[in-house]
Amino acid sequence: MPASNFLLIFVLPMFLYNCTDPLRLFSRILCGVVKFMWVLLATLSNRAEGHKHQSVKGLMNGLKQLSRTCWYQLRPITWRRKPVIRIGRKEFVDADESELPDPDPDAPKPEILAEIVDSEIVPPSCKEDTTLLAEETLKVWEEMREGAKRLMKMYPVRVCGYCPEVHVGPTGHKAQNCGAHKHQQRNGQHGWQAAVLDDLIPPKFVWHVPDVNKPLERDLRNFYGQAPAVVELCVQAGAAVPEKYKPTMRLDVGIPTDVREAEMVV
- The predicted-structure confidence for 25-49, as pLDDT tens digits, reads as follows 666 666 667 666 666 666 655 554 4
Separation between Cα atoms, residue 127 and residue 133, nearest integer Å = 10
- The predicted-structure confidence for 62-108, as pLDDT tens digits, reads as follows 655 655 555 555 455 566 767 777 777 777 777 777 777 777 777 77
158 - beta bridge partners?
167, 194
Least confident of 50-54, 159-163, 195-199, 232-236: 50-54
pLDDT at 160 over 80: yes
Neighbours of 232 (CB within 10 A): 21
- The predicted-structure confidence for 166-207, as pLDDT tens digits, reads as follows 999 888 888 888 888 888 888 888 999 999 999 999 988 999
Q: Which helix (H) or strand (E) holds 166?
A: strand 166-168
Domain ranges of the chain: 3-74, 155-200, 205-263
230, 141 contact by CB (below 8 A): yes
- What is the chain's mean pLDDT, rounded? 76
CA atoms within 13 A on the CB side of 19: 18
Q: How far apart are the first and last CA of the chain?
A: 91
179, 163 contact by CB (below 8 A): yes
239, 134 contact by CB (below 8 A): yes
DSSP string, 233-245: HHHHTTPPPPGGG
Q: List Cβ neighbours of 145 (8 Å cut-off, separation of 6 or more).
A: 197, 201
- The sign of the dihedral angle between the CA atoms of 218, 224, 228, 232 is negative
What is the Rg, in whole angstroms, of the alpha carbon atoms belonging to the chain?
A: 29
Give residue 151's pLDDT band: very low, low, confident or very high (50, 70, 90): very high
Q: List Cβ neighbours of 7 (8 Å cut-off, separation of 6 or more).
A: none
202, 230 contact by CB (below 8 A): no
